[in-house]
Amino acid sequence: MVITLLDARRARRIAEQVPDPELPMLTLADLGVLRDVSLTEDGTVVASLTPTYSGCPAMAEMRAGVAARLRDAGYTRVEIRTVLDPPWTSDWITPDGRRKLAEHGIAPPGAAPARPAGPVPLVLAPTRRSVPCPRCGSADTEETSRFAATSCKALWRCLACREPFEYVKEI
């Protein structure tokens, strides 16, 4: 039993270290997509992953990455499960993950909007949200596009240092 507990912890540590294919400065644990790692009685490692966006093309790669790392570490039976509920939120990006994003010039997300049950309101007034520039720290920035090279990011630019930067959207 003790061995099993240790083994489960080791498996979790290994799975946690797998890098995200599109944001390789983050591990899957940093991104908050690794929902659970457990060991069944017959010694199968069960790792549960959740997609960030429905169309995230990195999902298959994440599954393959986790399975490969665990097999390399000696776990012969590995099962990867997809968890859809609850849906991923950018709030699950860890403090460590946020720090790494900023270090790599990507502005981390703010708190995701609370979504009460019922119709989703449409707000047309410009939202006064300030995203500090991850390079120079200036708050004088503006959004150039709400969509960017991957689903999870928006494009911004800094009006002080003139650098464009990416920003992980709140979702």
Partner 1 sequence: MSDDHVYLTLAEGHDDDTRWAYGTGFEDPLHGVDTTVPDGVDAGELADLCVTLADDALVSAQRLAEWTTRAPELEEEVALANIGLDLLGQARLLYSRAGQVDGTGRTEDAYAYFRDADGFRNVRLAELPNGDFAFSVVRLLVFSSWRLAHFERLTAHRDPVLAAIAAKGVKELAYHRQYAAEWAVRLGDGTEESHRRMRKAQEQVAPYLGELFTAYDVRDEVVAVLRQVTEAAGLPMPVYRPLPGSGRSGEHTEHLAPLLAELQGVARAHPEATW
Q: Are 142 and 156 in contact (CB under 8 A)?
A: yes
**Contact string 12-51 vs partner 1 (x = CB under 8 A):** ------xx-xx-------------------------x--x
The angle subtended at Cα 152 by Cα 45 and Cα 27, nearest 5°, is 35
> Terminus-to-terminus CA distance in the chain, angstroms?
40
Which one, 5 or 91, has the nearer CB to partner 1?
A: 91
Q: Which of 5, 142, 145, 159 lies at the binding interface for partner 1 (CB under 8 A)? A: 145
Stretch that binds partner 1, among 3-11, 35-43, 130-138, 144-152 (CB under 8 A): 144-152
Give the shortest CB-160-to-partner 1 separation in angstroms.
21
Contact set for partner 1, span 62-91 (CB under 8 A): 63-65, 67-69, 79-88
Which one, 42 or 85, has the nearer CB to partner 1?
A: 85
Strands annotated E in 12-162: 34-39, 45-49, 78-82, 106-107, 141-145, 153-158
> In whole angstroms, what is the distance from residue 49 CA to residue 39 CA?
15
> Judged by CB under 8 A, does residue 61 bind partner 1?
yes
> In whole angstroms, what is the distance from residue 97 CA to residue 5 CA?
27
Give the shortest CB-27-to-partner 1 separation in angstroms.
12
Alpha-carbon torsion (113, 117, 120, 123), positive or negative:
negative
**Contact string 88-127 vs partner 1 (x = CB under 8 A):** x--------------------------x--xxx-x-x---
